Structures are given as C-alpha cells and as structure tokens.
Amino acid sequence: MQTDSSFTFVLFGGTGDLSMRKILPALFEAHRAGGMLADSGKIVAVARHIADRAAYIDWVNEHVKPHVSKNGVDETAWASFLDRIEFVKIDLGKPEDFTLLRDALSGRPGIRVFYLATGPSLFVPICHALASVGLNENSRIVLEKPLGYDLKSSNAINDAVGEIFAEEQIYRIDHYLGKEPVQNLLALRFGNVLFEPLWRREWVESIQITIAEELGVEARGDFYDNTGALRDMVQNHLLQLLSIVAMEPPHSMDSDSVRDEKLRVLRALKPIDPRDIGKVAVRGQYHAGVIRGSAVPAYATEPGVKQDSTTETFVAVKVEIENWRWAGVPFFLRTGKRLADRVAEIVVNFRAVPHSALGASALRGGANRLVIRLQPNETIRLYCLAKQPGEGMNLASVHLDLAFDRFFREGQMEAYQRLLLDVINGRLALFVRRDEQEAAWRWVEPILNEWAASNKPPKPYAAGTWGPAAASAMLAQHGTCWLEEEN
C-alpha cells in the first residue's frame, strides 16, 4: 500500500492510554513497514501537562516503546519515527490556545487529520476551537467511542460536529471493523460462489457473535460504571459485526455502497417489545472469582465503582432481522468482562441434513459450522463431518483451517494500523456513518430504558466463568448452546 499523500496527524490526548497502547504503535508499524506513510508526513501530539517536545519524546520512549514490535524494536526505524513527532502544549479548556496549533500547522502541505483520543465531553469544544482558528478546512476528524450516552446525546454530538465538519470529513472509528478476519469475511462471502448460496435462512440455523474479556474494568471503573456493557460493546462493536455478517452484497466496495448495506441490516432489526426484554436480553455483573489461578475482586469493589452499582458487565441478547434473507434465524450476541477466556468470534451454525443414512451425528445441528476467530488468534475454521478410520461408518468432526499467520508470509496488519491509513488516505468504508449509529442507538434504547426503570439487579456470575446461567438457558430454548458448551 504505497502512498505519496502528505499529511499532518494531530493527536489530541497525546499522553492518554489509547495513544500510548494503540495509536502511536500503529503509526510506528506503518512507518517501519516503509512506503505506507509519506516521508513528509508528521505527527503532532497535543497535551497540557508535558513541557516541550523533548519531554514528550521521553514520555513516548517510556510509555509507547513497550507496546511496539513484539519481536523487538528496530532502533533505526524507531529513531526515524521519533523524527516525525512534534509537540504542541495546549490546554483544551482554553480555546485561545488553539492559535498555537494553528501557527504550528501553518504552511504544511497535504491533509490534516485530527484524532480525538479524548473523552466525548471534549469532542464538541475541540471542534469549535478548531473552527475558530480556521482548521476545519482541508481536514478529517476521527471520533472515538463512546459517541454519546443514548440516542439524544449522540445526536447532540453529531449535530454539533456536523455544523463544523461535513459528513465525509468525519471518521467514527470502530476498531473491530479493521480486523483482518472481518475483512476476510467480506472476501469469503462476496469473492466465493461456494458460500453465498448458503448464507441465508434456508441453510443457517443460528449465528453467535461473542466478544469476551478476561480483564475487569481496570482503571476505568469511574467511566465504566456510567456506561456498562450494552453501551460500551453492543451498541457499536457487536451490532457493527452483525451488520457485516448479515448484509447483502454491495454493488462495489466503495464506502457508501458498503455502509448502505450495513444500514439496511440495522434498520431491519426486529424492535424489542419492552415486555419481552426479560426473555431476549440477559444482563449480569461479575462477583469475585478466580481467573487462571489468580483471585480477582467483584465488580462492586473495583476502584471508582459504586458499591451498590447495578451496571451490567455482561450482556447476552437475541436479535432477529426482519428481511427475506434472515427471517426466523436467531442471532445471539454476547459480551462480558472477567469471563473464562479472551476471545472474539463469529459462529455460523448451518442446518443439519434433512435425512441421514449415516447415523444421528449427521442430523445434529452445528455439524457444519463456520467459526471466524477475531482474537486472540485470527483464523477462519470450517467444520464438517468425515468418516473415522477403521471399521464401520463412524463420523467425526474435522475442520479446514485458514490460519493467516501460517498461510501468508507477510505479517498481518493490526486493526488500528489499517484504519489510520484509511483515514490518511480518505477511505471511509470501514468507518461508521451517522445514520448507522442512529439506527443502532434506536434499537438498543428500549433495553436501556427498561433496565433503567427496573428494580431488578443484574444477574451475578463468578469471575472466570462464561456469565450467568440465564444466557445459556436463552439459547437452550432454541435448541442450541454457546460454542464452548458443545463438549
């Protein structure tokens, strides 16, 4: 992916955790690879509690370097990467400070990218301050989640940002859309005649999408306790993955063609009747438990969390899509903290054969299954039945495995690296359009409202397990189970 596009990448929140762990490491990997970033491209970090560039470079050496290049740091590449970095000391609460940024960017060629790696409360003030000094022209702005607390607050942010930046300048980032297997899901479906005829209600029994974490809320207790898993993960990551799985073939891979098809899926989600929320949505909260031999505390005792908190750390929800392709097929979405393993995957369970002369195993649902693993090891695995060696017709499950790190010699591109390059090069397909975001908020709001009005606490589950038993019971009602429960 060669580029000659000159750019200036302005990083607000330049000393924050996201910048240290994800954004700057991703930019370094693009720099180290050669040819992905224009030689003239610069990174301008913005922060208020660092004195000058020398102090910021010291900060980067201490906090970013441990997160780059798993096999060791190329010191020559690292030194030349640091040459790209500049620094402007700004107090984001003082709009007059933005004249310093304007002066620092004056006369630079190419596009300006403003990455807002800050809390959402700062999005609108930063945009207004940029406009006040004329920096909203010839620029792109990247907004991190969460974008609002509900549909009303999300619209308020989008309205305010939209007064300053056109929609084609706004990049609402969801890093799951940049993961290699998600890209390969598009290739698998739309590049191969083998799967597309099967990708519909006649042949698919159910679909599961899981994003599970072993970690708790860490140092984000104060933020998380006012957010919860439904807002933090379902409204964005899980519904975006759902829309990719269920979308119709776009006429091309240009940004609006892809996002138009995703939007149709989100608008076709069956509205949830508030009276049925207890049947189709499970919320849980982790209690003390053991993960990989280490005791971990309950959510309510985490720093920054209210002791009587009813915030959910686990959500499982059944989703239906009201269109001809998917009518009647249940989609089960699940996410949680302090679960038994760290995994993100999409599981497509195909229907059993209508009749089998080979025994009952061929009639079992899920005998044919496609598992798309997003993390930790990015793979696509197709399960089918084959005869076991030996006497008799005994069937066993086998799989065809596409492990990207074994099949492709070149290293995989991390999600943030791909998405940042797309911003710099003006590619919008992997970013969330405003109408997609509104449709997602509109669908989750009945659940949010019902949980807020309910006096029922979240269902408890022990840290190190797979969540409340009610999540398994919900699938059992449909004659299926979560993938890890198969055996």
User: Binding site, residues?
Assistant: 48, 91-92, 145, 175, 179, 213, 232, 337
Per the annotation, the verdict on 237 as an active-site residue is yes
The torsion angles phi and psi of 79, rounded to 5 degrees, stand at -65, -40
Report how far apart, in Å, the C-alpha atoms of 75 and of each of 67, 109, 261 are. 14, 28, 44
Quote the CA–CA distance of 242 and 207 in Å, as a whole number.
9
Cβ contact 45:53 at 8 Å: no
Quote the CA–CA distance of 273 and 200 in Å, as a whole number.
25
Burial of residue 299 (number of CB atoms within 10 Å: 0-12, 13-18, 19+): buried
Report how far apart, in Å, the C-alpha atoms of 299 and of each of 277, 295, 344 are. 24, 13, 22
Quote the CA–CA distance of 205 and 277 in Å, as a whole number.
22
> In the block, which residue shows the tokens 């519904």?
239
Quote the CA–CA distance of 386 and 382 in Å, as a whole number.
13
- Residue 147: both structure tokens together: 């974008």
Q: Which of 49, 67, 237, 355 is catalytic?
A: 237
Binding-site positions for substrate: 175, 179, 213, 232, 337
Q: How far is CA 475 from the centre of its chain?
A: 24
**CA 359, 360, 362: angle at the middle one, nearest 5?**
80
Q: Hey, which residues are catalytic here?
A: 237
